[in-house]
Structure 1
Amino acid sequence: METSTRIVSMTARHRAFPCPQAAGHPTASLQGSFARPETPDQSPEPTLQEQYWLPKSRRSPSLARRQLRDFLAKLPDGHRYTETAQLLTSELVTNALLHGTTRDHLIKLTLESDGERLTISVDDASASPPKPGILSNGESGHGLQLVHKLCEDWGRGPREGIGKRVWCVCAPSTL
């Protein structure tokens, strides 16, 4: 399996850099009653996996979509995932940005594929579980409902260190 970790920097014309810090922190526990699986069902070993660290910035969803497109370009027939995966990535990163990432913390985007499915994971620094719903202004609150409708499966679980991981599994488009 090929694995790489990068940090996305907006100050260097959106280039990705190797992540300066590896995992190794104790796992934090999540509290709340939102019952979703902690991890995707076991699939074959991923053939390609990449990780990116995104800043707390309104431009992070766009940076994440760019990293996704670059990742999919490395997969045979990766274009089959593009439309749905871009929307799912945007929703998960936006949720982490708005509800899960505090100042001076980064958002971690992990993309992996086993050739049959694409798994998108987003880690943030908040232990609060995601809460799907509709807010009164009607302009937000739909993101997790959209994720639920568009992916094969999704869930949340603890991440290494502080916070949580929200993930979804995307099947290739049949068109």
Structure 2
Amino acid sequence: MTSTETFRIPKHRRHVSVARRRLREALTDWDVAEELTDTVALLASELVTNAVLHCRVSCAQVRVTLTLDGAELVLEVTDPDRDRLPRPHSPALGEEGGRGLALVAALADAWGCRQGPYTKCVWARFTLTETARAHAPATS
């Protein structure tokens, strides 16, 4: 059995915390280990922030989906700015931003993006270890 949490937030910085809270609640409900929950919440903050800051479509909404399927957990952040794909870069030493995708690459087992007909989706995948799913619900 697969567990999924999907919701939309307005494209505004103040709603990033709402996304983070909703994801934490889902992960807690699914009994995912606290360490992985913290990592997913951190990376969700990065991906959702990127979506709300860089999406050029006015009055857009950002869709956030978290799926737990067996030992695989996938976070997806989708926005309607199809052609603005994320590009990691090396920020200057004093630069405040620009490290989010490097963080995603370092902490997720895999990440990437895909374009739909009208949207783009940036995703991060995590493999639950025995410790992370010791208390997780059976999803067979």
Question: Could you say which TM-score interval applies, normalised by the shorter chain?
Answer: 0.7 to 0.9
Query: Could you report, residue by residue, the CA deviation over 1:120-175 in whole angstroms, capped at 9, with x for unpaired residues?
Result: 0000111211011134551111111110000000010013x512000001234758
Corresponding position of 1:83: 38
Aligned length: 129
Q: How does 1:70-109 map to 2 (within 5 A)?
A: 70-109=25-64
Deviations 1:41-94 (A, max 9, x none): xxxxxx101211011111222111111011112213353521110111001101
* Pick aligned residue for 1:153 from 102, 107, 110: 110
Shift of residue 101, structure 1, vs aligned partner: 4.8
Q: Partners in 2 of 1:152 and 1:171 — Cα distance?
A: 7
Structure 1 residue 167 corresponds to structure 2 residue 123: yes
Q: Contact 1:53–1:108 (CA<8 Å) still a contact in 2?
A: yes
Contact 1:124 1:165 in 2 (8 A): yes
Identity %: 38
* Structure 2 gaps, min length 5: 133-140
Secondary structure, aligned partner of 1:128: coil
Match runs of 1:15-54 below 5 Å? 47-54=2-9
- Considering fraction of residues, name the structure with more helix: 2
- Counterpart residue type for residue 157 of structure 1: R
Kept in 1, the 8 Å contact 2:20–2:45? The answer is: yes
Root mean square deviation, CA, Å: 2.0
5+ long unaligned stretches in structure 1: 2-46
